[in-house]
Structure 1
Amino acid sequence: MLPRTPRPGPRPRVSVIVPAHNAMPALTRALTSAMEQTIGIARLEIIAIDAGSTDGTAAELDRLAADCPALKVVRQEPGGGPGRPRNTGLDLARGEYVFFLDADGHLGPDALRRMVAMADQNGTDVVLGKMASPTGRGVPRAVFRHNQLRTDVLGSHAYSTLGPWKLFRRSLIERFHLRFPEDCRTDEDQPFTAAAYLNASAISVVADYDCYHLTRRGTTARNPARTGLTDRIDAIRLLFQTAARYTQPGPRRDHVMRRHIRRDLCGALRALPREDETEARTRFLPELRRWATDHCSDTLFRTLTAPERLMVHLLRTGRFDDLLTVIRAAKEDAGRGRLVEKGRVYWLHPFFRDPAADVPDDCFDVTDRLPVRHHLTGAAWCGGSTLRVRGRAEVKGLDAGPEDRTELVLRHRDAKDELCVPVTALDEEAAGGGTVNRDFAADIDIATADDGAPLRPGVWDVFLDVRAQGVSRTIRFGNRHDEGLDIGTARRVVAAGPGQRARVTPYFTTPYGNLSLDIGPAPRGAPCEVTEALWHPSDKGTLVVAGRLLPPGTPPRNRVLRLRAEHTDGRVLDHPVRYAAGHPAGAFTARLPVRDLARGRWTVTLALVGHGEGPPRAAPVPPPARLPGTRWVRRGRPDYAKPLTDRGETTLELRIAPVRLLAAVRNRLGGRI
C-alpha cells in the first residue's frame, strides 16, 4: 500500500528512507533520531517502508505517523531483500538529497544539517558522515581522520566504505537511474554506493561529528566469514560490473578494482573451504577466475600482498587443486620465515622455488610490504638557512648492520629531481648487537642542499630511505609525528645563495599528512618576515599579524611599516604596526579590522612606506595553514571573511561577502524558496 499523493508545498531538503522488517524495538529510536534533527522537521520527509513485519513494527509506524506529518508509511509484501523497500522509497522521494537510515541505526542530532551544509557549500554529490558504533561494530576510520570539502575515490579512503548510510544528491541518483538490486540476498547496497561514488562530481567528508550510529544487528549478514558464497556471489558480480562500467583502464580503475580484488574476490576464495567442493569447482571457481583475469591488471597485481598474489596467480592459471591446498593451509603458512637475498625479502611458503609448484618468485616477494616504523619528532631552524629535521625510523623485523643507514630523500614534485640528505644517528645501540639508526637528525641547508647549489623553487616531498641487511625501503615521512607538532612555525625567509633569499614553508599534505617543503622566491626587497596571522580571540572580525624586520633592527629613517589591505578595485588602506618593547630584532604586531572593510577581495601585505623614497617595499602576509573563516554582524546583517588560499605560496587574500539571507530565511522556514 502506497501513501496518498503528497500535498503540495516546498520541496524537502532531505528524504530519509527507512526500510523496516520486524525492526522493533530499535525502529523507534531510528525514526525519533530523524524527526529530532536540528535541520528542522519541516525540511524533511521521512519515508518508512514496512516489508510485511509481524512484530509490531506496523503499529509503531502508525503511532509515530499520527503525530508527525513528515513521516509517510508505505506497506509492501515481504521479499526482494532490503533493496526493494529502498527502491520504493527512492520512487517516492522528493527531497534534494536522500539519506538511507537503517531501522537498527540512528542519526546524531545535528547530522543532516552538517551534511547538507557540506554539500551545499562545496557542490558535492555524496557526503560521508562520520560513523560510530557504541556496541562495538566495526566502523571505517581512515576516511574520517579529518573533514574533506571536495575529494574523490582517488584522493580519499571513501571507497573503503560502501554502506548506504550517506547523503546522496537525488539528481545524481535519477540522472544515472541508480537503484538497489532486488535479487541480491546480501550486500545489495554496495553496487549502488559504488556507482554513486564513481559518477559523483565530488565527495565530501564530515569527520568532526558522529553523524551515524551503527549497532550489532545485521552484523552476521554482512560478515564474509559467516555468509555463504551463494548469498554473496550476485552482489560481488555486480560490484565488478559497476566498477568496469564507470571507469576506464588505468590508475583510477586499478584503484577501484584493488578494493574488489582484495576484499571481495580474495575474500570469496578464502571462503571456498566452507562450500561444497563440487559446487566450488563447477560454479564458483570458473567465475572467480574470469574476474581475476578480466579485472586484475599486472600493475594492480603487484600491489597485492604475497598471499593474495599467490592465490590470484593460481586462480588465473586454472590450478584449482593447488589453490584449494594453499587456502586450507593459509593460517599455518602465514607464520613461515623469510629469506633475505640480494636486497629482496621472500616469504618461505612451501611453494617457493618448488620445481613441482612452478610459481614465480614475484608471488613471494614481500620486500615492499615490510613495515617501516617511522616518526617525526621535530623540525626547526638551527642556522641561517638550515632546517633540522629529527625523527626515528627502522625496518620492522630486520636488524641493521654497520653498513646500513637511513637517508632523508627530497623529491621535487614537478621536476622529479631527487636529492639525498645524510642523517646523523642519535641512538646506535640495538638489542642483540649491530647498529640501528633509529633516532636521527638531518640538516637540510636550503642554500647548498643541491650539490652546493640552493634548492630550486617548488614543492619538495620528504621521504625516508631506510636500509637494513641490504634491503632498502623508501617511504613518505611525516604522517606519524609528535602530537601538537606545529610545522607551520618553521616557515621562514632564508638566504639561498649570494644576494638571494627564499621563502621556505614546511607543511603537512592533505589528506595523508606527509611532510613537504614549499620553496618560493622571497619578495624582492622584502622589509620584514611574517611569523603568525590569526583572528583576534575576543575582537571579532580583527586579523592579528605578527612578524619581524629584515634585516633585524629598526625601520629606515623616514619610512614606516604599515599593514596594508588592497581591494581589487585599487583602494588601499594602511594600518599601523606596534613594535615590541625595545624591539632589538624589530618584532612587531599589527591589527587589521576586517569587519570594517568593504565587501569584495582584499590582498594583505606589509609595506614600508615614506615620502620621497620611491615605491613602497612590500612583504606578503602568507595565509596560515589553519586560518578559518570568521563572521560578524554589520548594520544588522551578517558578513563573513574567508581566506582564498590554504598554503603559504601566495599573499593572503580575503573574500568579504554577506551571509546569504535566502539561506538564512530558508533555514527558518524549513523549505526551499
Structure 2
Amino acid sequence: MPAPLVTVIIPVFDVRPWLAECVASVRRQTIGTDNIEVIAVDDRSRDGSWEELERLAADFPELRVHRLPENSGGPGGPRNFGLDRAKGTYVFFLDADDYLGDEALERMVAMAERASSDVLLGRMATPPGHRDRAPKSMFGRSADKVDLYKSNVFNSLGPWKLFRREMIERHGIRFPEGVARREDGPFTSRCYLNAEVISILADYDCYYLRTRPDGSNATSQRPDYPALHAVAADLVAIVADHVPPGPKRDHLMARHVRTAVLTLFSAYWARELTPAEKRETFELARAVLKDCLTDGVLAKLDPRRRLMSHLIAEGEFEAFQEALPDLLKTESPAAVVDGERVYRPLNFFRDETLRVPDSVYDLTDRLAVEHRLTSLAWSERGLTIGFEAVLPDLSDRPQTVSVIVRARDGKTGHHVEATPAGGGTSFEAFVDVSKAAGGKALADGLWDLSVSISAEGVRRERRLGARRAESVETAADSHEVRRPGGSVVATTFFSKHGNLGLDLGERVHSSYPSPRLVSLRSTTTSLRVVADYPPPKDARRTEAAIVLARGSARLTMPTAVTVESGAFRLTASLSLPILRVRPGAWEVRAEVRIGDLRREVAVVNQKGRPVQLRVLPRLTKLLAKLRR
C-alpha cells in the first residue's frame, strides 16, 4: 500500500464537545482520504474523549487512535507519539478543538510539491463568535518561498502548519514534553531554521482556530512561570545555536523578547503573584535577556517594551514594579520633540536617579504614518490624488503634507503640495504632468507616488496605495494628458505590493493594443499583410500603417484602412524585391496614430506572439543580379 501524502496528527485531551467536528473536517478534505492518514492520540482524557475517538474510528478507516498509558502533561507528548508512527510525506498538526477548511490539505500539498516546501503556512481564520487569535501579519499574499529574516513568519510559532516529514526526521526535531504551554515554539523554531524553503498560502482559509467558550484552552490557564521561562531560554538558545550574531539574529531574538519574555509580565503577574514569586520570575527573565538583549534587539522594540527590557536587564526590580501598571495601559503620554528626535516620555524619562538612556524612549524611527488613498481622478493636464494622512503621535502639532513623485531609480523626487479637502486628515494633491518637476514637465518613465508628512522638523514618507478605499479601482488606467511639445499617455497602476505608480510614455503599460494578424502571404514578387486593430474608445482620428522592422531599420508598407466588424482592418501590400529588405528576421509592426499620439506596436498572431517575417538569402542574390 503506498504511503499517504499527509499524516494529520491530533493530540486529544478533554475535547469531546469539539472532537467530532475536528475529525469530520479531515474527512471532508478534497485531497481524498486515500491520501491521508490520521493519528489521534488521547492523553488520558477524563471527559469521554477517548470513547468518542473509538466511535469515530469505527466509521473512518484512515483514523488510527491511540491512548497514552498516563497523562504526559502537555500536547508535546501526543504529538511526538504521532510523529514516531507517521508515514506521510508531510505531517500536519491539528488541535482537536480546531478544524480545517475543506480544501486545506489539497491546496497546501499542491503548493508544497510545486515549491519543494519544507514548512508551509496556510492562512488561519477565526470561526464566527470566537475571540480572534489567528495570526495575520504573514498572510498578506501567497509566496512559494519567503525569507525568514525579512518576512513575519517567525511571529507564528504555532504548530498548525504543513511540515515535510523527511526534514523533521533528518534533524531529529521533536516537541518538548511535559510542558502545557508554548511547547510548540521550540519545535517550530527548529523547523524554520533548518528549512530550505518556507512557503505561505494566503488565498484560502486553511485552519480555523477556536476559542473554547469555557476558557479552557491551555493559553487561558494560570501560567507556570518557571516552565514558561525555561521555554523562553530554550527559544533563545535555539536561535543562538543556528544564527550568528548580527541583524538576522536580532530579528529573531526581538520576537522572543516581545512574546516569550515580556508577555509574562501582565496585570495577572502584578495582581496575583506573591512578592517572592515576582522576584523569582523577574530574575528568570533577567537571565534570559542577558543572553539575547543587544542594541539591535532593543532597536526593534517599541519604547514600552524597550523600557521593560532595560529595567529587567539592569536588575531594577522595584522600578520595574512601579512602572509596570503604567506600561500596561493602552494610553500613551504625548510625544516630546527635541531637535530632530521624538521621544515617548514614559516612566523615569530623564530621571536623574535611574539615568535611563534617551535611546530607550526614542520614537523617531518608529513614528507611525496613518494614510489611506481615497480617490484618483484624471484631467487633460494631470492626476488629482485624494488621500488621508496624519502622524498620530504628533497629531497635536501642525503638520505639513505633500505628495512626492519619485523616479523608480530613487534618484529624482519632486514635491507636489497637498491641500486640505473636507477637513480633518483629508487632502488632495494635483500632479500636473507639465509642471510637477520643479515647474518643468515630468520625463517619460516610471514614477512612485508617496505621501510626505512633517511636524516640527520631523518628516516621514510612505508609499501611497497599499491602504486604500474600496472605491479605488486597482486596474491600470491610461489617459492622454498634455505637456509642452505634445501629449503623452499617462497610466496609473498598482505594484504587486499594492503601491501606487505612474507610467509616463508607456514604458511598461501600453494603452495601444496589438493588431491581430488575419493573414500573411509572401511570394518571390509580393508580400501582403492583413491585420485587425480595435478602434479607440473615443472619437479621435486614427491612422495606421504596417511597418517591417529590423533593429533600427524601418520599411513602411502602403496600407489601406477599412472598417470591418467594428475593427480597423489594415491591408498592406508590397512588391518584391526591395533593396532595403535584407536577409534575416523582420518584425511585422504597425505604426498607429491616435489624435496627436504616435506609437509603433507589434502585430501578433492568434496566440498573442509577435509576428516575424524571415527573408531568405536567395533574395539577396536576386537583388544583386538586378542591380548589375
TM over 0.5: yes
2:613 corresponds in structure 1 to: none
Shift of residue 587, structure 1, vs aligned partner: 12
Equivalent position amino acid for 1:277 in 2: P
Q: Please give the TM-score of this superposition, normalised by the length of structure 1.
A: 0.71
Q: What per-residue deviation string (whole Å, max 9, x for no partner) do you get for residues 264-292 of structure 1?
A: 222134465344433443x4334423433
Q: What per-residue deviation string (whole Å, max 9, x for no partner) do you get for residues 395-420 of structure 1?
A: 22645777x4212235556x442514
Question: Does residue 252 in structure 1 map to residue 239 in structure 2?
Answer: no
Q: 1:356 aligns with which of 345, 353, 356?
A: 353
Determine the C-alpha separation between the residues in 2 that align with 1:532 and 1:114: 39
Output aligned runs, 1:284-433, within 5 Å: 284-331=281-328, 334-383=331-380, 386-396=382-392, 398-399=394-395, 404-411=399-406, 415-417=409-411, 419-427=413-421
Determine the C-alpha separation between the residues in 2 that align with 1:482 and 1:191: 40
1:214 corresponds in structure 2 to: 209
Output aligned runs, 1:581-620, within 5 Å: 607-608=589-590, 617-619=600-602
Question: Does residue 67 in structure 1 map to residue 59 in structure 2?
Answer: yes
Gaps of at least 5 residues in structure 2 are 517-531, 549-560, 571-586, 593-598, 611-628
Equivalent position amino acid for 2:62 in 1: A
**Equivalent position SS for 1:555:** strand
Is the contact made by 2:488 and 2:504 (CA closer than 8 Å) also made in structure 1? no
Shift of residue 198, structure 1, vs aligned partner: 3.1
Question: Does residue 240 in structure 1 map to residue 232 in structure 2?
Answer: no
2:576 corresponds in structure 1 to: none
**Equivalent position SS for 1:478:** coil
Change (3 A) 1:365 1:127: closer
Change (3 A) 1:368 1:233: same
Question: Does residue 440 in structure 1 map to residue 451 in structure 2?
Answer: no
Shift of residue 83, structure 1, vs aligned partner: 0.5
Shift of residue 425, structure 1, vs aligned partner: 0.1
1:227 corresponds in structure 2 to: 223
1:536 corresponds in structure 2 to: none
Is the contact made by 1:191 and 1:235 (CA closer than 8 Å) also made in structure 2? yes
Change (3 A) 1:442 1:314: farther
Shift of residue 489, structure 1, vs aligned partner: 2.5
1:514 corresponds in structure 2 to: 499
Change (3 A) 1:388 1:450: same
1:193 corresponds in structure 2 to: 188
Shift of residue 494, structure 1, vs aligned partner: 8.0
Measured on the aligned residues, the alpha-carbon RMSD in Å equals 4.2
Equivalent position amino acid for 1:449 in 2: A
Q: What per-residue deviation string (whole Å, max 9, x for no partner) do you get for residues 518-577 of structure 1?
A: 678749xx9x724999xxxxxxxxxx9978599963333x5399xxxxxxxxxxxxxx99
Question: Does residue 266 in structure 1 map to residue 234 in structure 2?
Answer: no
Determine the C-alpha separation between the residues in 2 that align with 1:223 and 1:58: 23
Output aligned runs, 1:637-652, within 5 Å: none
Structure showing greater radius of gyration is 2
Shift of residue 162, structure 1, vs aligned partner: 1.8
Output aligned runs, 1:423-572, within 5 Å: 423-427=417-421, 438-443=426-431, 445=433, 449=437, 452=440, 454=442, 460-491=447-478, 506-510=493-497, 513-517=498-502, 522=507, 529-530=512-513, 548=536, 553-556=541-544, 559=546
Change (3 A) 1:461 1:199: farther
Equivalent position amino acid for 1:29 in 2: E
Shift of residue 473, structure 1, vs aligned partner: 3.0
Determine the C-alpha separation between the residues in 2 that align with 1:577 and 1:365: 70
Q: What per-residue deviation string (whole Å, max 9, x for no partner) do you get for residues 600-623 of structure 1?
A: xxxxx993289xxxxx953499xx
1:5 corresponds in structure 2 to: none
2:9 corresponds in structure 1 to: 17
Question: Does residue 134 in structure 1 map to residue 128 in structure 2?
Answer: yes
Determine the C-alpha separation between the residues in 1 that align with 2:337 and 2:59: 71
Determine the C-alpha separation between the residues in 2 that align with 1:532 and 1:222: 64
Gaps of at least 5 residues in structure 1 are 1-8, 431-436, 534-543, 562-575, 589-604, 611-615, 622-640, 644-650, 653-673
Change (3 A) 1:219 1:343: farther
Q: What per-residue deviation string (whole Å, max 9, x for no partner) do you get for residues 319-377 of structure 1?
A: 23222221244346955444344354433334122211211222223344444332112
Equivalent position amino acid for 1:127 in 2: L
Change (3 A) 1:390 1:203: same
Determine the C-alpha separation between the residues in 1 that align with 2:295 and 2:220: 26
Shift of residue 502, structure 1, vs aligned partner: 8.4
Change (3 A) 1:315 1:412: farther
**Equivalent position SS for 1:115:** helix
Is the contact made by 2:122 and 2:204 (CA closer than 8 Å) also made in structure 1? no
Determine the C-alpha separation between the residues in 2 that align with 1:212 and 1:127: 10
Question: Does residue 108 in structure 1 map to residue 101 in structure 2?
Answer: yes
Change (3 A) 1:449 1:122: farther
Is the contact made by 1:187 and 1:222 (CA closer than 8 Å) also made in structure 2? no
Determine the C-alpha separation between the residues in 2 that align with 1:493 and 1:314: 61
Q: What per-residue deviation string (whole Å, max 9, x for no partner) do you get for residues 11-32 of structure 1?
A: 1111011111233232222222
Q: What per-residue deviation string (whole Å, max 9, x for no partner) do you get for residues 586-609 of structure 1?
A: 899xxxxxxxxxxxxxxxx99328
Question: Does residue 95 in structure 1 map to residue 85 in structure 2?
Answer: no
State the number of aligned residues: 553
Q: What per-residue deviation string (whole Å, max 9, x for no partner) do you get for residues 144-198 of structure 1?
A: 4444443343454333222111111222222322211114231111221222233
Equivalent position amino acid for 1:37 in 2: Q
Determine the C-alpha separation between the residues in 2 that align with 1:49 and 1:279: 35
Change (3 A) 1:577 1:184: farther
Change (3 A) 1:354 1:197: same
Q: 1:163 aligns with which of 148, 158, 165?
A: 158
Is the contact made by 2:125 and 2:134 (CA closer than 8 Å) also made in structure 1? yes
Equivalent position amino acid for 1:117 in 2: A
Change (3 A) 1:407 1:296: farther
**Equivalent position SS for 1:150:** coil
Shift of residue 239, structure 1, vs aligned partner: 1.8
Shift of residue 65, structure 1, vs aligned partner: 2.4
Is the contact made by 2:307 and 2:360 (CA closer than 8 Å) also made in structure 1? yes
Shift of residue 481, structure 1, vs aligned partner: 0.8
Question: Does residue 119 in structure 1 map to residue 107 in structure 2?
Answer: no
Shift of residue 452, structure 1, vs aligned partner: 4.4
Determine the C-alpha separation between the residues in 2 that align with 1:418 and 1:466: 18
Is the contact made by 1:496 and 1:502 (CA closer than 8 Å) also made in structure 2? no
**Equivalent position SS for 1:151:** coil
Shift of residue 116, structure 1, vs aligned partner: 1.5
Question: Does residue 150 in structure 1 map to residue 133 in structure 2?
Answer: no
Higher relative contact order (Cα pairs below 8 Å, separated by 6+ residues): 1
Change (3 A) 1:71 1:396: same
Determine the C-alpha separation between the residues in 1 that align with 2:417 and 2:9: 57
Equivalent position amino acid for 1:194 in 2: S
Determine the C-alpha separation between the residues in 2 that align with 1:300 and 1:104: 36
Q: Please give the TM-score of this superposition, normalised by the length of structure 2.
A: 0.75
Is the contact made by 1:44 and 1:70 (CA closer than 8 Å) also made in structure 2? yes
Change (3 A) 1:55 1:222: closer
Determine the C-alpha separation between the residues in 1 that align with 2:322 and 2:221: 19
Shift of residue 499, structure 1, vs aligned partner: 10
